A and B are shown apart, each in its own frame.
Chain A
Amino acid sequence: MNFDLEKFKVHGEPLIYGAMISIALVSIGIVVGLTVFRKWGWLWREWLTTVDHKRIGVMYILAALLMLFRGGIDALMMRLQTAAPDMKFLDAQHYNEVFTTHGLIMILFMAMPFIIGLMNVVVPLQIGARDVAFPRLNAVSFWLFFFGAMLLNISFVIGGSPDAGWSAYFPLASLEFSPTVGNNYYSLALQISGIGTLMTGVNFIVTILKMRAPGMKLMRMPMFTWSVLITNVIIVFAFPVLTVALALMMFDRLFGSQFFTMANGGMDMLWANLFWVWGHPEVYIVILPAFGIYSEIIATFSKKNLYGYTSMVASMLIISLLSFIVWAHHFYTMGQGVLVNGFFSITTMAIAVPTGVKIFNWLFTLRKGRISFTTPMLYSLAFIPIFTIGGVTGVMLAMASADYMYHNTMFLVAHFHYVLIPGAVFAVIAGFHYWFPKVFGFRLNERIGKHAFWWIIISFNVAFFPLFILGLKGMTRRMYTYSAETGFGPLNMISFAGALGLAIGFVILVYNIYWSTRYMPRDENGDPWDARTLEWATHSPIPEYNFAVVPKVKSRDPFWAMKHDKQPLFEEPITKIHMPSNTGKPFVLGVVFFFLGFFLVFSMWIPAIVAGVGVLIVLAAMSFERDHGFYIPADKVIKTEKKLGGGTV
Chain B
Amino acid sequence: MNKKGPLYAIFFSLFLLLPGCSSLTVLNPQGPAAKTLSDTIILSILVMLGVLAVVYILYTIMLVKYRAKKSNEGYIPPHEEGNIWLEATWIAIPIIIVAFLSVVTVKTTHAVENVPADYKDQKPLVIYASSSNWKWHFSYPEEGIETVNYVNFPVNRPVEFRLYSFGPISSFWIPQLAGQKYAMSDMTTYLNLVANTQGDFLGRNTNFSGKGYAQMEFTATSMSSDDYDKWVKDVKSTASQLTEDKFKSLLATAHVGRETFSSTHLTFSPPPAEHSEHMDMDHSNMDHSNMEMSTDEHTHQSN
Contacts and interface: CB of A to CB of B under 8 A. Distances in A.
Given A369-B66, A371-B68, A385-B55, A335 B303 contact: no
Contacts of B1: 381
Interface stretch (B120-128, B174-182, B223-231, B242-250): B174-182
A356 B94 CA distance: 7
A261 to B, nearest CB: 9
Question: Of residues B36, B78, B90, B208, which shows the largest number of chain A Cβ atoms within 10 Å of its Cβ?
Answer: B208
A171 B214 CA distance: 18
B90 A360 contact: yes
A445 B199 CA distance: 61
Contacts of A473: 23-26
Contacts of A373: 67-68
B3 to A, nearest CB: 6
A487 B105 contact: no
B113 interface: yes
B7 interface: yes
A345 B106 contact: yes
A458 B9 CA distance: 12
Nearest to A386: B7
Q: Is the interface on chain B under 10, 10 to 19, 20 to 34, or 35 or more residues?
A: 35 or more
Nearest to A302: B77
Contact of A396 (B45, B58, B173): B45
A371 B66 contact: yes
A342 B185 CA distance: 25
Contacts of A341: 109
Question: Of residues A266, A272, A474, which shows the largest number of chain B Cβ atoms within 10 Å of its Cβ?
Answer: A474
B79 to A, nearest CB: 6
A372 B68 CA distance: 5
B48 A395 contact: yes
Given A267-B281, A409-B206, A368 B77 contact: yes
Interface stretch (B96-104, B144-152, B232-240, B261-269): B96-104
Nearest to A564: B76
B37 A476 contact: no
A331 B184 CA distance: 12
Contacts of A454: 3
A635 to B, nearest CB: 41
A14 interface: no
B40 A399 contact: yes
Nearest to B208: A478
B274 interface: no
Contact of A404 (B104, B179, B184): B179
Contacts of B204: 476
Contact of A461 (B10, B83, B101): B10
A405 B26 CA distance: 7
A1 interface: no
B44 interface: yes
Given A395-B101, A405-B37, A304 B181 contact: no
Interface of A: 92-93, 96, 164-165, 169-172, 177-178, 262, 265-269, 272, 302-305, 307-311, 331, 333-335, 337-339, 341-342, 345-346, 349-350, 352-353, 356-357, 359-361, 363-364, 366-373, 381-382, 384-386, 388-389, 392-393, 395-396, 398-409, 454, 457-458, 461, 465, 468-469, 471-474, 476-482, 487
Nearest to A356: B94
Given A337-B303, A364-B80, 11 more contacts: A96-B210, A169-B207, A308-B82, A338-B303, A352-B98, A363-B55, A370-B67, A384-B59, A385-B4, A395-B98, A469-B17
A167 to B, nearest CB: 9
Interface in B16-61: 17, 23-27, 34, 36-38, 40-41, 44-45, 48, 51-52, 55-56, 58-59
Given A385-B59, A399-B44, A335 B7 contact: no
Contacts of B211: 92-93, 96
A502 to B, nearest CB: 15
A401 B181 CA distance: 11
23 contacts: A171-B185, A177-B168, A267-B186, A304-B79, A338-B113, A342-B105, A349-B105, A350-B98, A353-B94, A364-B82, A370-B67, A370-B72, A372-B67, A381-B1, A381-B63, A388-B56, A399-B105, A404-B37, A404-B180, A407-B206, A461-B6, A478-B213, A482-B214
Contacts of B194: none
Contacts, number: 289
A93 B104 CA distance: 41
Contacts of A334: 182, 184, 189
Contacts of A487: 23
A474 to B, nearest CB: 4
B293 interface: no
Contacts of B24: 469, 472-473
A374 to B, nearest CB: 10
A555 B24 CA distance: 55
B37 A407 contact: no
Contacts of B58: 360, 363
Contacts of B168: 169, 171-172, 177
Interface string B268-301: 0000000000101100000000000000000000
B168 to A, nearest CB: 4
A177 B210 contact: yes
Contacts of A349: 98, 101-102, 105
Interface string B74-92: 0111111111001100110
B113 A337 contact: yes
B100 to A, nearest CB: 10
Contact of A333 (B72, B180, B213): B180
A401 B80 contact: no
A344 to B, nearest CB: 10
A356 to B, nearest CB: 5
